[in-house]
Chains A and B, each alone.
Chain A
Amino acid sequence: MSQDILENSVASQPSPGDKNFKPFEASTEIETLADERIAHYPVSKLSAVLPLLHIVQHHFGFISKESITWVAEKLEIEKIKVLSVVTFYPAFRQSAPGKFHYRVCRTLSCAMAGSHELMDNICEITNIDRTKLSHHHPIVVSPCGNYSVEFAECLASCGSAPACLVNDDFHDNVGPEKAQALIDQYSV
């Protein structure tokens, strides 16, 4: 029974964003990148769990069941230790985001500058159901799979609020009226 619970916890849910990413594969490139990172932690391989998960998510969009198994085997640790970290840290997601993932800051100074209205506008333009965003579903993907949204906590750019990240690109001074421009900047 506990094996089923573990299997359910590591499994990824299907998402409209699945089309954006190749399935996980431990290619030579991935293995080499991983080995480079593991070498930074000679005292304990467990330390490399975050760097390896970043490699997986950067290349494959999210942390799949197969990648959890691979990370655990690579670091010679139990799968639960990888899952424990994947489920704790907000940055790791177990199902596919959109091709363009919008993380809008929700914390005080950005909220004062209109970041929640910015989020409303982004959701309206991309046809994302804003009401689905909740503590247990922090990421919502558009039906077309091209866009997804998430609230981020303070992005450390409060003086030029509102701030947001689109994939790895940082944007500040993004007032609610700039939502359309922010979407248009990223062509599908």
Chain B
Amino acid sequence: MSDIKYLPGKEPHPSEHRLIFKNIDRAGWDTSIDTYIADGGYEQLKKAFTMEPSAITNEVKASGLRGRGGAGFPTGVKWGFIPPNNTKPVYLICNCDESEPGTFKDRYIVHQDPHQLIEGMVISAFAVGAKTAFIYMREEFPEAALTIERAIEEARAKNLVGKDILGSGFDLEIWVHRGAAAYICGEETGLIESLEGKRPYPRIKPPYFPAALGLYMAPTIVNNVESLCHVKHIIEMGGSEYAKLGVERNTGTRILCVSGDVKNPGYYEVQVGKITMGELLNDICGGPKDGRKFKAVIPGGSSSKILRCEEVFKIGKGDDAKDLTFWDIPMDFDTLAACGTMAGSGGVIVLDDSRKMSWVLNNINHFYAHESCGQCTPCREGNGWMKKISDRIVNGLAAPEDIQTLEDVAYQIDGKTICAFGEASSWPVEAIISKFRDELTAETSEDNQRLSKEQLQREAYLTK
């Protein structure tokens, strides 16, 4: 790895471990298959064809790889959900709808290193028995759609995609399917509905787990771009060797995407759990902007619950119980969950003391109100309502009880919807109110109470 040079100004930070992002910003690199093969590309595919498909799945299970799209569900376990006596065709879908606010990693893979994804997909399709694969590409990546299609054709010309790949007897077609700017298509069942040509209204799970009833109601594996790339590296080093990276139950590397009020925002690939929040924000990202102090961080994309920088978390149980300060939180899945938030998609949004939380909340509420598919009444109506309340707060037209109403509405959505968008849209409201209630209330005024003249008359005795 030491002979790899990166473009000036884009060298990885010393704390990084470039596995998936090895070729991002690499000097002398391009997206052609010749460059990829000269660098050892598609050797892992050849190795995979010497293995039984079930052995590949076992390596992925042994690696402990957890989905990198946001849910962090063990990938090998998901692959194992395909019904054992299945006779329907199996589909593999690469979820390239990267739209979680704060996340920017799949973009670089599909624009700069398409063959890594294709190799990962062919290996994965072979493992799960899929003969047709789709890459669901968000509409706002038009160049990537062309780049990937060009790469697929290059691979086809070298018998790496298509019929009887490398004489293995395995056939696989990969098609790019462009979306049309809807965040809900990142939800795996919404994506499937969209691929079927309909409005992307998600399906309820159970029973519509894609591995059982997915695309065209056939077994379908939906994986994130980054997750599929990890599969290639798992084949290269073996599952147990891969599991040595990162920490227990939180293995491998992940790409952290830091944005907002830091000196050096950007993408950083690190071993899961080996970097703390303090190391990430202060060492890797250069600390806050001049004259500013860190205030709060949204650690896993806008759907994750916000953390205050001065918080101390009580984690663990019994003898393992301990206090953990914000700065000491390791960037893994389990600890962040224990702190009441989630690692999600790795989108770390940093807020300093110049930011008003009401403005932040309002910006997020507008996003979710816009992106709600409208299928479930609590989400459709609730998100619109929450947006109107936070609009009022930001414009100085809110009354103190509006904060309580906003919180109540959020809890009426949370857990009461067909898909996790309900949680995604309500958690930011719940967390920001819970942790910044006083700051929000200070922006409200009793003068804004909206009571009718009659009601004011009726209640006048209360203030006598």
- Whether A154 contacts B100 by the Cβ 8 Å rule is yes
Q: Which residues of A contact B258 (CB under 8 A)?
A: 159
Residue from B107, B197, B355, B367 in contact with A107 in the complex, judged by beta carbons closer than 8 Å: B367
Give the CA-CA distance A47 to B132 in the complex, in Å: 14
CA distance A88 to B199 in the complex (A): 7
Interface string of A150-175 (1 = CB under 8 A from B): 00111111111100010010100000
In Å, the complex CA distance between A126 and B108 comes to 32
Q: Are A158 and B177 touching (Cβ within 8 A)?
A: no
Q: Contact: A90 with B347, CB < 8 Å?
A: no
A108 and B181 contact, CB distance less than 8 A:
no
Is B342 located at the chain interface by the 8 A CB criterion?
Answer: no
A60 to chain B, nearest CB (A): 16
B267 touches A153 (CB 8 A): no
Q: What are the interface flags for A83-108 relative to B under an 8 Å C-beta threshold, 1 for contact and 0 otherwise?
A: 01100111110000000000100111
User: Which residues, 8 to 57 on A, are CB-close (under 8 Å) to B?
Assistant: 40, 43-51, 53-54
**Contact A51 to B177, CB < 8 A, known contacts A108-B363, A109-B349, A154-B99:** yes
Given contacts A50-B194, A109-B102, A153-B371, whether A43 and B177 have CB atoms under 8 Å apart is: no
A112 to B200, CA, bound (A): 30
Tell me which of B198, B261, B371 has the highest count of chain A C-beta atoms within 10 A of its own C-beta: B198
Q: How many residues of B contact A (CB 8 A)?
A: 53
Complex: A157 Cα to B111 Cα, angstroms: 12
Interface residue? B302 (CB, 8 A): yes
CA gap between A85 and B199 in the complex, in Å = 6
List 19 contacting pairs A-B, 8 Å CB cutoff, sorted by A. Answer: A44-B197, A47-B195, A53-B180, A81-B197, A85-B198, A89-B180, A90-B180, A103-B140, A108-B102, A108-B260, A108-B360, A109-B265, A112-B351, A153-B370, A153-B371, A154-B103, A156-B99, A159-B104, A159-B266
In the assembled complex, the CB of A162 is this many whole angstroms from the nearest CB of chain B, namely 11
Q: How far is the CB of A4 from chain B (nearest CB, A)?
A: 23
B316 within 8 A of A: no
Q: A88-B182, A158-B102 are in contact. Are A50 and B177 (CB under 8 A)?
A: yes
Beyond A160-B265, A165-B140, whether A108 also contacts B302 by CB under 8 A is yes
Q: Which residues of B contact A48 (CB under 8 A)?
A: 197
Instruction: List B contacts of A53 (CB < 8 A).
Output: 180
Choose one: B106, B198, B347; the contact of A158 (CB below 8 Å). B347
Complex Cα spacing A97 to B397, Å: 35
Interface flags, B119-162, vs A, CB<8A=1, else 0: 00000000000000000001111110000000000000000000
B363 touches A107 (CB 8 A): yes
Asked whether, in the complex, the Cβ of A109 is within 8 Å of the Cβ of B259, the reply is yes
B208 at the interface (CB under 8 A from A): no
A40–B173 Cα gap in the complex (Å)? Answer: 9
> What chain B residues lie within 8 Å of A45 (beta carbons)?
197
A-side contacts of B175, CB under 8 Å: 40
CA distance A108 to B141 in the complex (A): 19
B246 touches A (CB below 8 Å): no
Chain B residues numbered 207-233 whose CB sits less than 8 Å from any CB in chain A: 216
